[in-house]
Amino acid sequence: MGFDRNQYLRELETIVNIDSGSRNPAGTGKVAAFLEEKYRQQGFQTELVSVGPEVGPVLVATNAPDEPIDLLFIGHTDTVFLDGEASRRPFTIKGERLYGPGVYDMKGCSLLTAYLMENLPAELKRSLNICVIHNPDEEISSFYSREVIIEKAKMAKFAFVMEPSAADGSMIKERKGIEKLKIHFKGRPSHAGDAPEEGRSAINELAYWIVQLNTLIDHDAGVSVNAGTIQGGTVPNVVPEHAQMELDYRYSNPIDVTAFLDMLEDLQIHAAEKEIGIDIAVIGRRPPMVDVPGAKALRSVFEDVGKQMDTVISFKKSGGVSDANFTTSVGVPTVCSIGLIGGAFHTDHEYVELDSIFSRLELLTAVIAEMSRRKMFCTSADRLRVT
């Protein structure tokens, strides 16, 4: 394997030192353009797909125009950090760890994907149809790019979501689904002392909703409800006309979202009876990442290759979400969080373990080779049927 670690580190420094928060189209665009050039140099066909002015482009790179796709790789170019963070704490190497905004989640992993494509054996790369997606808005629920992801996932045999691995090296096999809502309540103001009966309290209705929604909580079943922010009212002696909350509902079983949506309908009826206006905006939505047919066989390849390399491969469930939620929703066997090892993501001390760069590159190359040996990819007959 002709991996040049020093070149990788120089290029990682370049993209980590670019501010690329989800709402920074120029920054995510720069990172996408940098990665695009990496794929072009390898002979990939590339496209920067616009998904609206609010965010940067989606980079799509393919080594062949044919369908179906054998392997779909997904990563993202955005971070959670505000502009100025890259200059405040630029990329640094301290001992055996790398630091900087987004170095772990997930610029190091996105760059690793390009290096994985570069280091795949030529005969293996020629035999596979590969598609790579780098989207600009994963940290804000892939609200703009999800249709591009789903469209490509529908053509794919397998998906590798290159999110970072946990500090112990574990990967993800299941993730919760999420409904994230911003709910505005509009009541009727009045004097709280002289005419309280004339008022319609937006805050009282909000409080009623929280109490009712919390009855859905079932931690054993993987259901959680969290009113993460609330605002409302003006002064204590006025019945509040306005209130607002941001709600986070997470669930493991796809059927559990039905109970949540049914309750929302009932609560809106209650609000109407109390003469409270309701406006609900969806600010985040992902179905759960579930075990689909073929997923266990895919994980077994990782486990078997890990044993051959004397590396423990473990998979766990997560309450967090990623773009793997979309790929399994259309039935694609998926492994998630197979990228670099590190920790403390979304903080000012996130890090990557330096030695995980080559070890992950070596593992993923071996996994793809083993999948090919086991004839898990599309055959010539499959491609003829599609064309």
Torsion sign over Cα 328, 224, 181, 76: negative
Q: Is the peptide bond preceding residue 287 cis, with omega within 30 degrees of 0?
A: no
CA distance 159 to 302: 13
Quote the distance between the C-alpha of residue 189 and its chain's center: 41
Cβ-count burial of 192 within 10 angstroms (0-12 exposed, 13-18 middle, 19+ buried)? middle
**Of 114, 100, 99, 109, the residue nearest 33 (C-alpha):** 114
**Of 165, 179, 268, the residue nearest 216 (C-alpha):** 179
User: Among residues 11, 138, 174, 256, which one is catalytic?
Assistant: 138
Quick check: 79 and 138 in contact, CB under 8 A?
Answer: no
Quick check: 234 and 172 in contact, CB under 8 A?
Answer: no
Across the beta sheet with 45-49, what order do the strands follow? Answer: 45-49, 58-62, 130-135, 69-76, 156-161, 334-336, 171-175, 315-318
User: Among residues 11, 36, 70, 78, which one is catalytic?
Assistant: 78
Active-site annotation holds for 194: no
- Count of helices and strands (H, E) across the chain: 12, 16
CA distance 57 to 121: 30
Active-site annotation holds for 310: no
Q: What positions carry a catalytic annotation? A: 78, 138
